[in-house]
């Protein structure tokens, strides 16, 4: 068990998402930054898709009720164990009654904590990813006791660590493919999209990231069609919306671009107000 | 009927197949047939296969390294579809209470359309609706077949809270809110039936291709059915239809 003493801004348990249920209108959910979550699990020797704790901008305060190993990746929210700073991207041994806390956000947006053997929280339709209306709770709360694997097994990778993983965290280049309605964009739209920086609006969350700069929109709405995480929609008033992991399954706005999968992870680590540069890659 | 399909790559691992852009039952049937065929015959591992009015999206578990080859395979598969198809679907009878307690926008539609409230209810409850797909919210059915005379534009500003079970009209569509949510459609009634049931292995009873009919019930009947639904003892009336 891990006891939640205090929560951060937005902490939830996520795995790689709920697949195969889009046909019932159920969003994927899942970790916003897949690379970071997979790295945390891999360093611990877990299956890459084990459920992890996702923390946004600030972290919770957690008390461990058993000995285990953890690994933190993604954003740096100054983690410390019993008030001693600990490293990211490294396996950390934790003892019963240890207290994990977080401080100032140094870089990135979302931090991940994997535990040896993974979190053993509620599983719904094949996934532990928290989502409002699907799982009993959509974020963790104070006094929650989060079930984890309590096996005495020692991590076989207890010295594992990795350096230089931060390029995608820091890069402001977001790579995209053409979306299904890309060819309906005007030449000036296209020039603007790939030459000007776009600022991430404060109205951004697990469902979607909005970009502040608007472009002239001459495209008509489409008959409701299919979308997925990474789809960039163009709204009638010219706003670009990047759909993220909690997005709806369908949508009626033109889908002008589709993020490369790795770039979805990058966007998930961009702080609000930061600028990105969109770069087209060909199929 | 065979359509001229367009195949588009959509990100690294997906192929989007598009039919002509319109709401058409022949297109729906063709999409369902093709989807079933892909399920049965595809040689690559698929993580998601989903449909909308005129589209089908295939998400593979690996990157499409050769889009052209994948499309050639799919085109061949499409050609093998049989025109005649033993199509079996369900027709669900959905109880709806159109009482003014629930039908909070009926008066406004009545004024706009110059039709009595009773006539709007009649027109809404006498049609056969086709389920095209489920999207927007978990368990939200996209239905075709609304009577043109009761088309009603979405409200200028959406309500922050629409009740679970609300039956509504938005433009040329009608639908049921499976759970409480914000929404901009005009609310004409409420159904006590659950359209999204987390206690079931398959959370939605209706499938694309099914039919829905609405049956007008009184507020008392509504309350009785609601009790049965909540205790898990309500069986939605349905019949099997053969095409």
Same domain, B65 and B109: no
Q: Could you tell me if A89 and A165 are in contact, meaning their C-beta atoms sit under 8 angstroms apart?
A: yes
Instruction: Give how far B177 is from chain A: nearest CA, Å.
Output: 12
Of the candidates B49, B135, B203, the beta carbon closest to that of A224 is on B135
Q: Could you tell me if B55 and B32 are in contact, meaning their C-beta atoms sit under 8 angstroms apart?
A: no
Q: Which two tokens stand for residue B118?
A: 């009773």
Q: Could you tell me if A102 and A77 are in contact, meaning their C-beta atoms sit under 8 angstroms apart?
A: yes
Residue A77 phi, psi (nearest 5): -110, 40
pLDDT in tens, chain B (243 residues): 689 999 999 999 999 999 999 999 999 999 999 999 999 988 888 999 999 999 999 999 999 888 999 999 999 999 998 766 667 899 999 999 999 999 999 999 999 999 999 999 999 999 999 999 999 889 999 999 999 999 999 888 889 899 999 999 999 899 999 999 888 899 999 999 999 999 899 999 999 999 999 999 999 999 999 999 999 999 999 999 886
Decide if A224 and B53 are in contact by the 8 Å CB cutoff: yes
**CA A230, CA A256: separation in Å to the nearest integer?**
11
Can you give the CATH number for the domain in which B150 is found? 2.40.100.10
Interface probe for B, chosen from A17, A19, A21, A24 (most Cβ of B below 10 Å), is A24
Interface of A with B (CB under 8 A): 19-27, 124-125, 133-134, 177, 179-180, 222-226, 228, 230, 248-250, 255, 258-261, 283
Domain with CATH 2.40.100.10 in chain A: 171-280
Paired residues of B51 in beta bridges: B56
Same domain, B128 and B211: yes
Decide if B136 and A226 are in contact by the 8 Å CB cutoff: no
Q: Is residue B235 part of a domain?
A: yes
CB neighbours of B70 closer than 8 A, spacing ≥ 6?
B15, B44, B64
Decide if B47 and A19 are in contact by the 8 Å CB cutoff: yes
| Cα of A242 vs its chain's centroid, Å | 13
Same domain, B73 and B98: no
CATH class for domain A171-280? mainly beta
Q: Which of B58, B79, B100 is the last residue of a domain?
A: B79
The number of distinct structural domains making up chain B is: 2
The complex scores an ipTM of 0.93
Q: Which residues of B touch A182 (CB under 8 A)?
A: none
Paired residues of A11 in beta bridges: A55
Q: Which two tokens stand for residue B6?
A: 């367009």
Q: Which of B53, B79, B105 is the last residue of a domain?
A: B79
Q: Is residue B1 part of a domain?
A: no
**CA B41, CA A274: separation in Å to the nearest integer?**
46
How does the average pLDDT of chain A come out, rounded?
93
Q: Which residues of A touch B12 (CB under 8 A)?
A: 177, 260-261
Of the candidates B52, B59, B198, the beta carbon closest to that of A250 is on B52
Q: Could you report the per-residue pLDDT of A134-147, keeping only the tens digit for each?
A: 999 999 999 999 99
Instruction: Give how far A127 is from chain B: nearest CA, Å.
Output: 13
Can you give the CATH number for the domain in which B32 is found? 3.30.1360.40
**CA B58, CA B54: separation in Å to the nearest integer?**
14
Q: Which residues of B touch A255 (CB under 8 A)?
A: 10
Same domain, B209 and B182: yes
Same domain, B146 and B195: yes
Instruction: Give how far A261 is from chain B: nearest CA, Å.
Output: 7
Q: Domain range holding B28?
A: 6-79
């Amino acid at each position: 068990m891990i006891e939640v003493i205090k929560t951060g801004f937005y902490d939830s348990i996520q795995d790689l998402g709920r697949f195969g249920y889009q046909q019932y209108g159920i969003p994927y959910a899942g970790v916003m930054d897949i690379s970071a979550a997979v790295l945390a699990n891999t360093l611990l020797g877990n299956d890459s898709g084990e459920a992890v704790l996702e923390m946004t901008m600030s972290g919770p305060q957690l008390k461990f009720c058993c000995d285990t190993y953890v690994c933190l990746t993604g954003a740096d929210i100054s983690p410390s164990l019993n008030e001693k700073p600990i490293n990211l991207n490294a396996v950390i041994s934790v003892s019963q009654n240890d207290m994990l806390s977080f401080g100032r956000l140094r870089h990135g947006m979302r931090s991940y904590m994997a535990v040896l053997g993974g979190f053993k929280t509620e599983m719904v339709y094949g996934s532990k990813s928290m989502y409002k209306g699907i799982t009993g709770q959509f974020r963790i709360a104070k006094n929650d006791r989060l079930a984890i694997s309590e096996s005495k097994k020692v991590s076989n990778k207890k010295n594992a660590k990795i350096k230089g993983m931060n390029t995608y965290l820091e890069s402001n280049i977001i790579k995209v493919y053409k979306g299904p309605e890309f060819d309906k964009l005007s030449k000036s739209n296209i020039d603007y999209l790939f030459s000007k920086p776009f600022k991430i609006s404060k109205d951004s969350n697990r469902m979607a990231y909005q970009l502040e700069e608007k472009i002239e929109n001459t495209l008509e709405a489409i008959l409701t069609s299919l979308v997925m995480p990474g789809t960039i929609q163009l709204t009638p008033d010219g706003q670009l919306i990047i759909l993220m992991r909690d997005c709806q399954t369908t949508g009626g706005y033109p889908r002008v671009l589709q993020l490369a999968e790795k770039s979805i992870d990058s966007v998930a680590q961009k702080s609000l107000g930061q600028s990105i540069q969109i770069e087209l890659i060909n199929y | 009927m065979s359509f001229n399909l367009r195949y588009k790559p959509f990100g690294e691992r997906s192929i989007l197949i598009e039919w002509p852009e319109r709401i058409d039952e022949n297109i729906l049937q063709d999409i369902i047939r093709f989807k079933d065929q892909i399920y049965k015959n595809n040689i690559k591992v698929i993580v998601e296969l989903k449909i909308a009015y005129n589209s089908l999206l295939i998400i593979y578990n690996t990157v499409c390294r050769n889009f052209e080859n994948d499309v050639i395979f799919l085109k061949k598969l499409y050609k093998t579809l049989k025109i005649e198809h033993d199509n079996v679907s369900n027709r669900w009878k959905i109880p709806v209470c159109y009482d003014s307690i629930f039908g909070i926008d009926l008066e406004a539609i009545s004024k706009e359309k110059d039709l009595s409230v009773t006539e709007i209810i009649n027109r809404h409850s006498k049609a056969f609706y086709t389920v095209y797909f489920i999207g927007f919210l978990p368990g939200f059915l996209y239905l075709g077949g609304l009577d043109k005379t009761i088309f009603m534009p979405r409200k200028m500003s959406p309500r922050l809270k629409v009740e679970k079970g609300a039956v509504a009209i938005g433009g040329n569509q009608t639908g049921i809110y499976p759970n409480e949510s914000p929404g901009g459609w005009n609310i004409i009634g409420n159904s006590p039936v659950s359209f999204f049931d987390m206690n079931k292995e398959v959370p939605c009873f209706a499938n694309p291709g099914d039919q829905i009919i609405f049956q007008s019930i009184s507020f008392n009947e509504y309350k009785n059915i609601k009790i049965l639904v909540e205790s898990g003892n309500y069986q939605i009336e349905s019949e099997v239809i053969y095409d």
